[in-house]
Structure 1
Amino acid sequence: MINVILTDDQEIVREGLKMMLSLDEEIRIIGEASNGRELLLLLEKQLPDVILMDIRMPGLDGVETTEIIKREHPEIRVIILTTFNEDEYIFRGLKNGADGYILKDSGSDDIIKAIKTAYSGNILLNPEVAAKVVKALNTTDYNSKSDNEATNLTLLTPRELEVARLVAEGKNNREIGNSLFLTEGTVKNYVTRILEKLELNSRTELALYIHDTH
């Protein structure tokens, strides 16, 4: 059973999500909040596997809340609900460690798949959202890093590059380990070193970084 908390300032959106998610018997809604502060109070009482969270909310928005959650509860998967006109929020959420993004107008099958994908430890990026984030990376203060991406990848050993590319394919540590005949702990150490060498903050950011060099 995958325990989920819904966070959105619009009750009608939460009700719609609950209706969609009730279609899948592997997903259980254990709580809901209307903003980031309510969510953080809720997390003091119960911890979910996955949080489905609106990116824009009054008080404490999804971006700031993601940063706090990932600092205090890194094991919780955070999926951000977004729309096409929120590039800056998406970029900041990525930097703060969000595990994925899904468009608000996605169908029930896509949202259920998103939750299961994030729960399994894989990266979740809607292709259209990913394209927007890559564009944001190339048109912000990230630009200087973008100019040197090819050079930066040469900092990686051949094995690190293999691991990085499998991360970019959305593989989790167990799957990468099976592919390369490594233990999960070894893969985790590789990923940590890769992020340090490339000065990145999360697996999601690494995936976008690798995609943008090809």
Structure 2
Amino acid sequence: MIRVLIADDQTIVRQGLRMMLEQFDIIQVVGEATNGEEALKCCELWQPHLILMDIRMPGMDGVEATKRIKQVYPQTNILILTTFTDDQYIFEALQHGASGYPLKDVTPDKLVEAIQIAQEGGAIIHPQVASKMIHQMKDWQSPIQQEKDERVAMLTERELEILQYLGQGLSNQEIAEKVYITQGTVKNHISSLLQKLECRDRTQLALFAVKNHLL
């Protein structure tokens, strides 16, 4: 059973998400929050495994809430609920430890799948939003910053391949099927990537792939 907290300032959105998720036996909605401050307090009260976090809320928004929650409750996964118009905030939220960003028009089955992937340590990066992020990051970066990180040269061909798939948001099982190796071998490669690139988790690896134009 995955314990889920819903954080959104719109009542109708929270109720809709609750009704959607409660159709699935593996999900338990433990509570709701109307902004980031309430979400932080709810983490102490209900200890959710995962938070569905709206990015734009009054008071403390989803970006700041993600930062604070991951500092205090690092094991709590956070999925940012977003639209295509929110892409300017997405990169910052991911940097603070969010596990990805399903779009608000996602189907119930896909949302639950995203929750499961996040719980398994995966990153949910919508391809169309990722493409917008890449273009936006090019605008943010100076010519020097656009050069690839020197640590890229340390990676093996297989590690580069797996890093590219991580950047696309694929799960261990999907990566294993793509490159014809076991999930255990994929995990070993990811552990090596985390160490070589000094990244905290899979989401940071995915960001590294985007920032270094590996997609």
User: Which bin holds the TM-score, normalised by the shorter protein?
Assistant: 0.7 to 0.9
Shift of 1:201: 7.8
> 2:80 aligns to what?
80
Tell me the distance in 2 between the aligned counterparts of 1:90 and 1:142. Answer: 20
State the distance in 1 between where 2:41 and 2:143 align: 38
The residue that corresponds to 1:128 in the other structure is 128
Which residue of the partner structure matches residue 20 of structure 1?
20
CA positional deviation for 1:202: 1.4
- Change beyond 3 A, Cα 1:191–1:48: farther
Q: 1:37 to 1:26 in 2, by over 3 A?
A: same
The answer for the alignment partner of 1:46 in structure 2 is 46
State the Cα deviation string for residues 184-209 of structure 1 (Å, max 9, x = none): 6x656523333338xx9813313434
TM alignment of 1:2-151, pairs within 5 A: 2-141=2-141, 144-146=144-146, 148-149=147-148
Aligned to 1:168: 167
Q: CA deviation at 1:44?
A: 1.4
Residue by residue, what CA displacement relative to the aligned partner does 1:24-56 show, whole Å, maximum 9, x if unpaired?
Answer: 111110111000100111111221111100001
* RMSD of aligned Cα (Å): 2.9
Structure 2 counterpart SS, 1:91: helix
Aligned twin of 2:208: 206
1:53 and 1:32 map into 2 onto residues whose CA distance is 10
CA–CA separation in structure 1 for the residues paired with 2:112 and 2:184: 31
SS in 1 for 2:208: helix
> Judging changes above 3 Å, is the alpha-carbon distance between structure 1 residues 118 and 142 closer, same or farther for their aligned structure 2 residues?
farther
Aligned residues: 207
Q: Deviations over 1:154-188 (max 9, x none)?
A: 13355654553453363459x87x7486596x656
Q: Percent identity?
A: 37
Q: Which 4+ residue blocks in structure 1 deviate beyond 6 angstroms?
A: none
- What is the alpha-carbon distance in structure 1 between the residues aligned to residue 34 and residue 192 of structure 2? 38
Query: Secondary structure at the residue paired with 1:99?
Result: coil
**Structure 2 stretches of 5 or more lacking a match?**
none
| Residues 151 and 197 in structure 2, CA contact (< 8 A), matched pair in contact too | no
Gaps of 5+ in 1: none
1:191 aligned onto 2:196: no
Q: Is the 8 A contact 2:125 2:167 kept in 1?
A: no
Superposed displacement of residue 110, structure 1: 2.0
**Deviations for 1:91-123, whole angstroms, at most 9, x for unmatched residues?**
211221210101112222221221112112111
Instruction: Provide the secondary structure at the position in 2 that maps to 1:52.
Output: strand
* 3-state SS, counterpart of residue 71 of structure 2: helix
Q: Letter of the 1:132 partner, please give it.
A: K
SS in structure 2 at match of 1:75: coil
Cα shift at 1:145: 2.7
8 Å Cα contact 1:195-1:201 kept in structure 2: no
- The residue type equivalent to 2:7 in the other structure is T
C-alpha spacing 1:180/1:24, structure 2 compared with 1 (3 Å): closer
Aligned residues of 2:98 and 2:203 also touching (Cα < 8 A):
no
Of the structure 1 ranges 150-159 and 17-26, higher mean CA displacement relative to structure 2 is found in 150-159
